[in-house]
Each structure stands twice: as C-alpha cells, then as structure tokens.
A and B are shown apart, each in its own frame.
Chain A
Amino acid sequence: MSDLAGVRRLLEGAAASLEASRARIDDLNVYPVPDGDTGTNMALTMRALLDELAQATATTRPALAHTVTRAALMGARGNSGVILSQIVRGAAEVLGDAEEFDPGVLARAFRAASDTAYRGVRRPVEGTILTVIREMAEEAEARAASERAAADLLRAVLERGETALARTPALLDVLRDAGVVDAGGAGLVELTRGMVAAVTGEPLPEPPPLTELAFEAVHQERSEFRYCTAFVVLGAGLERESLEREAEALGDSLLVVGDASALKVHVHTDDPGAALTLGTTRGTLAGVEIADMHVQTAEREERLAVRTPEPDAQRSSDVIAVVAGEGNRRLFTRLGAAAIVEGGQSMNPSTAEILEAIEVARAPEVVVLPNNGNVIMSAEQAAELAGKPVYVVPTRSIQAGLTALLAYDPSLGAEENEAAMREAVASVSTAAVTTASRDVDLNGLRIHEGQYLGLLEDEPLVGGESFDEVAGAVVEALLAAPHDILTFLTGADSPPIDALVSLVEERHPDVEVDVQPGGQSHYHLLIAAE
C-alpha cells in the first residue's frame, strides 16, 4: 500500500470513529464556551482533511506530510479543530521524515504532536485535549522501547488517553461542576480509537445514523450574509458533494450532512430562494427555516452607497466623518465634510469602510472624525493603512465632531487642521439623553431598564421617568461651567423638547440655544456646550 493510501485509511478510520460519537461529544462541550459544537467542529475538520487527501497526489513522504499539515490548517473549524490541526501538524512533521513507522518513531510523533499543540497557547489549561495528548505522548515514550509492534503501542496509548480523559474533571472545575469529561479530549480519544481499528484491522465503529445537527452550534458568530437558511431535502440518490459544491457559491457557514435519501443543508446566504431551489431541483423540501440575521443590512447598504462629491481642486485636505442620523449627516455635509461614513453607537463602521472613504477622497490629505469612542481605533487603523497623509482627531461624540468641523479650513493641510480641531474639541463639553437598555447600577447610580438616562461626558449622571427632568438635570450640570452656546441635536424618535428649551432660556437667559434635527437613533438628545 502506498503511503497516501495508508494515511487515507488511517484517517478514514479515525474520522469514522469520531463521527460515531459526534453528537455525544457535542453534548459534553462546556469549555471554553458551552456551545455544544466540539464534536461537530472536529468532525468537520477531519472531513476537510479527508476531502483534501482525496485529491492529493503526493508521492513522497515529506510531500504527503506537507499536504496533510496544510489541509488540517485550512480545514480547521472551531477551537478544537485548531488544536487538532496542531496535533496533526506535529505528528506529520515526524512521520514525514521517518523511514519506518516503528514504536520509536510513533513515540516521537506523539511527543511532537503534544509539543506543537502546547506551543499554540500562552497559558495552557489542563484538563483539556492538551492534557490528553500530553499523557498519550508520555505513554508512547514509556512504551517505545518495550513494545515491538506499532499496533500494541497504539493500543496502550489509547488506554492511557481514556484514563487521562476520565481524570479531566479533577483538573478543570467547569467540567467537574457540569459532571462531564472534556469534549475535545473525548474527540481525540475517539480519533485514536479509530486509528487503532484501522491499523489492527478490527472492525470500524458503526457508521452514525443521520442525526439532527444543532444549527445554533454550527456558527454562532455573525455572518456577513443576511439569512440563515436551513432545510432538509428528501429524495432518492441524493448527492451530498454536488449539493455542497453548488451551495458553497451562495454564502458561508455551509454544512451539508446526511445520506442519499435525506440531506440537511445549512447555509448563511443573501439569497435563500436560490438555496431552496438547490433542494427543489433534487427532491422535496422539509423543515425549512429562514432567519434574518441582520436587520441592519439595509442601513449598511445605504452607508456603502454614500459617495464622495466631485473634488474641489483648491482643497488641501478633506474631512471624513463617521456619523449616524440623517439630520446629522446633512449638518456635517453642510459644514464641509467631504464624505460621511454611516455609523455610530450600535453600528460601528469597519476599518475597511473608513479606508474606502479615505481612498475615494480627492484632496491630497485627509482628516478623519470618528465621533465615537468605539470608532477611534478603526479610524486610526485606516489612517495607518491609507496611501496618503491622514490625521485622526479622536472625537468621541457627534457634538465634538461638529465642533471640530467648525474649525476646519479646506485650504490648510491635514496636520494644521488637526491641531486647530483638537484645540476646538478641548473647549466643548458634551451630554446626552438616552434610554437605559437594562437595569444599570454603575458608578453608584441606579437606573432601571426603559428609563431615561442622562450622560455627562459619556458617564451616567442621572436617570428617571421624565425626559424633561433628566434632560434638564444634564443641562444644569453642563452649565455649571460657564458656556455661551448650547446645541441640541434631536434624535430620530425623541420626545418634544419645547418645554426643555423654554426652561433653559428662562433659567439661563445669557445662553443661546440652537436646536438641530439630528435624526440619530439611540440618543434622544445630544448636547454640546461651548
């Protein structure tokens, strides 16, 4: 048997054994995050590895080791898959250079697998798959001299793996509390069991029956695609690979499992119709589930559609501002911002989106106003990546951004503008009124969910049922320091502010109040005091 065929047979045995226990291992998964996907992730990693090997043509042992290492790296799914890819890599490095697979070589392979796995983490946590692979390596080394057959060594390693696995709850409290052994370690033991079966020629574990996959476990992270689409195709002679290939073009987080009579499909896509059509052309549909993962997608599309106006040849620098709210956007444009990147409190733009706006700007230099504490870092990264001089004025609010923009002079370079803007921002005080999204008890202030929440310079100051009282209190706090101008930016669905304005004018006749429709979501009122 060629090396390639031998490796395939070994890994097929391992994968089949793992597959048989996949659901059980999913159920064990409580660490690091109890999302019940360890078995699935390891099975998918093995499947990717086998798919790659099916197409492999490597003829030399080192080339084969390289193929296996690369396939495991590329196919790694989830935390356990990544660790598995390191175990595979360490073992492949030794086996690729070996002449014969005797117990001594196998022991070195287990040692390398363990060492490589440990190298991947700064602070290894014991009681996990790491502990299991390390003890397996120790057993292999202890037996290398006495065992003559590779199969006997593997059997001993498997037994030690089972013992190590059984002791994981003693090492990791989370496991003990949940009354389970480590899921990743269990996966490694099953993989080893399958390899022993493949080497000794003992029967492989029973192939798994078609079981339901927990969709939530497959992919909990947010996808760039909008609809989580899942369905079952019932029919005869269904081909998993061809369906998988066609569904792959539609999105990500793809999973197609099942047999010739029933296939379960899960995909994140922007076109659920096309995904369902893949099913109807092959058989009948059942259990269709479609979930909209991003209600914000429409806003994102709008944001991406915003384009820079024609360049003015006289401009030495352009200003790009990150702004939320139709009214605020108009304000920034009116005050001279060359481009607006839509975004704000709950919808931060990516570095790429800011970078795109910078690249589109035609002036030779650019100033960026992030206008939110959470956007400053993205803006700074975009500035680093940009192909032209870019300065970021770290404005933490829309109000600060507006104040900065008032200091902007298009005929000056970005550096001079930045200095002037920083100075302007230093003189502005800000406040805001929002709605508490949950009970908060921060900085000694008790506010209940749904109540109005007044913020002074981003810190909770006051809460209550009455908008006028809360807003009035933050205004008074702002005006405790001398200011001449108050700017109110009203939100998309803010309560009427006439009473508030009258009150302020009555109490502070020297202060000029300027009300602008900001249209931002989330904040009923943004206030700047200069």
Chain B
Amino acid sequence: MPGEITITTEAIAQVVGLTAAECYGVVGTAARGGRAGRLVSRDRPERGVEVVRTPDGLVITLRVIVEHGLNLAEVASTVRSHVRYEVARLTGIPTVSVDVHIADVRTSA
C-alpha cells in the first residue's frame, strides 16, 4: 500500500518524556530555563525534552528532577539507556546521544 509515514520530533519528544517519567529516580522533568525545576504536568510529557534530528540519528537532551538520596550518576545512566532503548524500539530511529541534565534534586513527602 503506497503512502508515507512521518514521525514528528514532537512525537519522539513525547516518547522520551514518558519514558523518562518511568525511570527509577526521576520524579519530574524540568522545562528549560525554569531554574527552580517546575514539575511537568502529565499532559505535557515532552516538556524538558529537546530532540534534534541529524543525518546520523537523534540527539536527545532532557532535564530531569531526581529524588534526593539516590546515586545521581547511576540514575542518569539508567535514564540514558532506557530512553535510547525505548526510542529505538518504538520509532526505529537510532539515537546518536542522550544528554541527561539533572536540573534539581527534591525530597518527596
């Protein structure tokens, strides 16, 4: 059947945002510039996520808020591998890099 399938960067950003929210240690994603790290609402999972297409694949940057008292390096490393894996699984587009910025650390109630 003829036809084109296009995956927009917004759709990919949503996949990234939803995946990040499921990663252990991540209690939120932070919108860029929001230094205090606002918690992202559930209907806007792509906030705090930047996806850039390059001829080699996707360059993904995301800003997350992590629960206090966790090993930040290990959490960031998990987020990177989980995001890379899910994006490849769901979109078939390879990822060149995933930069994880820990924008804030907070203690939940």
Contacts and interface: CB of A to CB of B under 8 A. Distances in A.
B94 to A, nearest CB: 7
Q: Secondary structure of the B side of the interface?
A: mixed
Interface string A138-157: 00000000000000000000
A82 B94 contact: no
Contacts of B6: 441-444
A348 to B, nearest CB: 7
Contacts of A74: 71
A32 B85 contact: yes
A121 B26 contact: yes
A76 B7 CA distance: 37
Given A119-B67, A123-B22, A435 B55 contact: yes
Contacts of B47: none
Interface stretch (A83-91, A103-111, A233-241, A276-284): A83-91
A120 B70 contact: yes
Given A119-B108, A220-B81, A435-B55, A73 B69 contact: yes
A353 to B, nearest CB: 14
A439 to B, nearest CB: 11
Contacts of A120: 24-25, 27, 67, 70
Contact of A221 (B22, B70, B80): B80
Contacts of B23: 32, 79, 121
B48 to A, nearest CB: 12
A436 interface: yes
A374 B52 contact: yes
Given A119-B108, A441-B5, A434 B55 contact: yes
B75 A437 contact: no
B16 to A, nearest CB: 14
Interface string B49-90: 010111111010100000101110011011011100110000
Interface centre among A86, A89, A374 (most CB of B within 10 A): A374
Interface centre among A125, A377, A381, A444 (most CB of B within 10 A): A377
Counting contact residues on chain A (CB < 8 A from B), the size range is 35 or more
B4 interface: yes
Interface string A493-530: 00000000000000000000000000000100000000
Contacts of A89: 69
A81 interface: yes
Given A374-B54, A438-B94, A83 B24 contact: yes
Interface centre among B53, B54, B59 (most CB of A within 10 A): B54
Given A82-B24, A442-B6, A444-B4, A221 B74 contact: no
Contact of B74 (A35, A79, A123): A79
Contacts of B53: 442
B78 A78 contact: yes
Contacts of B7: 442
Contacts of B15: none
Contacts of A437: 55-57
A79 B24 contact: yes
A33 interface: yes
Interface string A19-37: 0000000000000111100
A345 interface: yes
B26 to A, nearest CB: 6
Interface in B31-56: 32, 50, 52-56
Contacts of B4: 441, 444
B11 interface: no
B74 to A, nearest CB: 5
A214 to B, nearest CB: 15
Contacts of B71: 73-74, 76, 81-82, 85
B90 to A, nearest CB: 13
B13 interface: no
A33 B77 contact: no
A2 interface: no
Contacts of B21: 122-123
Contacts of B69: 73, 86, 89
B54 A345 contact: yes
7 contacts: A32-B85, A32-B86, A73-B70, A345-B56, A374-B54, A435-B55, A438-B94
Interface of B: 4-7, 21-28, 32, 50, 52-57, 59, 61, 67, 69-71, 74-75, 77-78, 80-82, 85-86, 94, 96-97, 99, 101, 108
Closest 3 CB pairs of A and B: A79-B78, A76-B71, A33-B85
